[in-house]
Homo-oligomer: A and B are copies of this chain.
């Protein structure tokens, strides 16, 4: 990467955030019913422009408008898989970056198999999941807590690195500590706050933020790292007044609107390297 130092990466993330605010990229999300409203508001708060549609009839045309495509398999059903594949195919033809969120992979064969199929057929730029989901995609069988993780980020580090190398997708494993790897470069992100786990769809919202970042930054590894740093710092800012979860959700949207490159300079807590994950 051009910016070889940590400070350089943080500086670049600030510029990427500025580009999101300046360009208002259109992020087309095919996502789950539970988080649609919150995800759209997260994108608007950040400065991006959400579209949500799933009819097969309009996937091609929606991708003519979109600057990024987010595929999220929460509340999945078979007809939506078809629409996701159509949208992904249109995105590939137009070089629109795709971000995949394998919500609940490992909790059912339907989810695991659909997530694998999308990983291989859609060719996402970024795959973002919790440690259990990434491990399930890598073929590890283990306990599932449904849509929550039963594993820490570190447990999925080797699987994430191999998967990134094998698929060409940047893999982002989120948890108390986040890991973003393209198989060669890695970054650990320590930003974020436990209250994020008390708001439904905070992981899905992070994925949408990565979509917005991928829309304006062609290096998907930097885009994913940047999106998670910005989302994590917003999560910390929202927690400053020690709110309870209802108020926290509202303040998280406010913080996504307020977060600036200046916050990043002081607040980004990352480690990065080029070899195997530390």
Stretch binding the partner chain, chosen from A10-18, A221-229, A250-258 = A250-258
Given that A109-B61, A250-B250, A257-B244 are contacting pairs, would A54 and B37 also be in contact in the complex, using a CB cutoff of 8 Å? no
Q: Residues of B contacting A66 with CB < 8 Å? A: 146
Q: Which residue of chain B has the shortest Cβ distance to A35 in the bound complex?
A: B37
In the complex, whether A89 has a CB less than 8 A from a CB of chain B is no
* Inter-chain contact B49/A145, CB cutoff 8 Å: yes
A198 to B38, CA, bound (A): 12
- Shortest beta-carbon distance, A253 to chain B, in Å? 3
Q: Which residues 62-80 of A have a CB within 8 angstroms of B? A: 62, 65-66, 74-78
In the complex, whether A50 has a CB less than 8 A from a CB of chain B is yes
Q: Residues of B contacting A109 with CB < 8 Å? A: 57-58, 61
In the complex, whether A85 has a CB less than 8 A from a CB of chain B is no
In the complex, whether A218 has a CB less than 8 A from a CB of chain B is no
Stretch binding the partner chain, chosen from A39-47, A93-101, A157-165, A268-276 = A39-47
Q: Residues of B contacting A258 with CB < 8 Å? A: 244
Copies in the complex: 3
A54 to B104, CA, bound (A): 13
Q: Residues of B contacting A76 with CB < 8 Å? A: 53, 55, 58
| A75 contact from B54, B111, B254, Cβ within 8 A | B54
In the complex, whether A261 has a CB less than 8 A from a CB of chain B is no
Given that A33-B33, A146-B26 are contacting pairs, would A53 and B75 also be in contact in the complex, using a CB cutoff of 8 Å? yes
| A41 contact from B77, B249, B257, Cβ within 8 A | B249
* Inter-chain contact B250/A247, CB cutoff 8 Å: yes
Q: Which residue of chain B has the shortest Cβ distance to A144 in the bound complex?
A: B65
| A44 contact from B107, B108, B199, Cβ within 8 A | B199
Q: Residues of B contacting A53 with CB < 8 Å? A: 75-76, 104, 108
* Inter-chain contact B61/A77, CB cutoff 8 Å: no
Q: Which 6 A-B pairs have the closest CB atoms?
A: A246-B253, A58-B108, A244-B254, A40-B200, A57-B110, A61-B108
15 further A-B pairs in the complex, CB-CB below 8 A; given A33-B36, A45-B198, A246-B249? A36-B75, A37-B37, A49-B145, A51-B104, A53-B108, A54-B75, A61-B108, A62-B146, A65-B107, A243-B254, A244-B254, A245-B257, A246-B251, A246-B253, A249-B253
27 A–B pairs (Cβ distance < 8 Å), ordered by A: A33-B36, A34-B40, A36-B75, A37-B38, A37-B200, A41-B199, A41-B200, A45-B198, A45-B246, A49-B148, A51-B147, A52-B74, A53-B76, A55-B76, A57-B78, A57-B108, A57-B109, A61-B107, A61-B108, A244-B258, A245-B253, A245-B257, A246-B251, A246-B253, A246-B257, A247-B251, A247-B254
